[in-house]
Structure 1
């Protein structure tokens, strides 16, 4: 038995509904009824990286990062394939540059989506401490 099982259905057009456990996830290649697959992947990547960043902070003795927000952006090539991803990580805590870089690097090793993507598509990450 697989560790993860999903079912994706499209009744008509380019919109799909995926059943993921007890949740429905709407993805639409035309951006009409949900995000397109590339946007969903970027959001999923950020949603995996953010808790990994918190774990990385905890490993570094920074247990109270406060509010953390990732502003993610991505570039597409001429075929609309993801070419580059960038994360601007805004952290409420006042981290020095060395700690911020170490936490970001630790998070890369923890984030499962980061590990699953081809190396050339790993996010270019900038951390902004004391952001809120």
Structure 2
């Protein structure tokens, strides 16, 4: 089992600086010195899903999917809690709907952030292929 260690510090206000290995990440609930926690979660989710999509593509026989862009939208309620997440993928490789859906299904099983979120908050995923 691997342990992930993060050290987060908030010296004042709503800014938190986290040290993750050799990297520093600044998150600000007010969006002034960095993205807010919900935006960071959406970026993290997309950043996990893309490599999972690539691995899923390899398992479906596509060794190189080319460029992949993900547009992410998240809906928040009046308490700033995420209610819904949507991914729209633009994939360079030209896939038919069944191929795309099969890769998405595999990616959902592979993506660790997808697994960590409550089921009601998994991303709704649409896409286009043969792009760029």
Both structures adopt the same fold (TM-score exceeding 0.5)? yes
Q: Which residue of 2 aligns with 1:3?
A: 3
Gaps of 5+ in 1: none
Runs of 4+ aligned structure 1 residues displaced above 4 Å come to none
Q: Which residue of 2 aligns with 1:75?
A: 75
Q: Which residue of 2 aligns with 1:56?
A: 56
Q: Which residue of 2 aligns with 1:17?
A: 17
Q: Secondary structure at the match of 1:55?
A: helix
Q: Which residue of 2 aligns with 1:86?
A: 86
Please identify, of 115-124 and 10-19, the stretch whose mean Cα deviation from structure 2 is larger: 10-19
Query: Does the aligned pair in 2 maintain the 1:104–1:127 contact within 8 Å?
Result: no
| Inter-partner Cα distance in structure 2 for 1:104 and 1:24 | 31
Q: Which residue of 1 aligns with 2:105?
A: 105
Q: Secondary structure at the match of 2:79?
A: coil
Q: Secondary structure at the match of 1:12?
A: coil
Shift, 1:127, TM fit? 1.7
Q: Which residue of 1 aligns with 2:130?
A: 130
Shift, 1:78, TM fit? 1.4
Q: Secondary structure at the match of 1:17?
A: strand
Q: 1:123 to 1:6 in 2, by over 3 A?
A: same
Gaps of 5+ in 2: none
Q: Secondary structure at the match of 1:131?
A: coil
Shift, 1:2, TM fit? 6.5
| Inter-partner Cα distance in structure 1 for 2:2 and 2:124 | 32
Task: Please give the TM-score of this superposition, normalised by the length of structure 1.
Answer: 0.97
Aligned-residue CA RMSD (Å): 1.1
Deviations 1:12-53 (A, max 9, x none): 110010000110000000000000000000000000000000
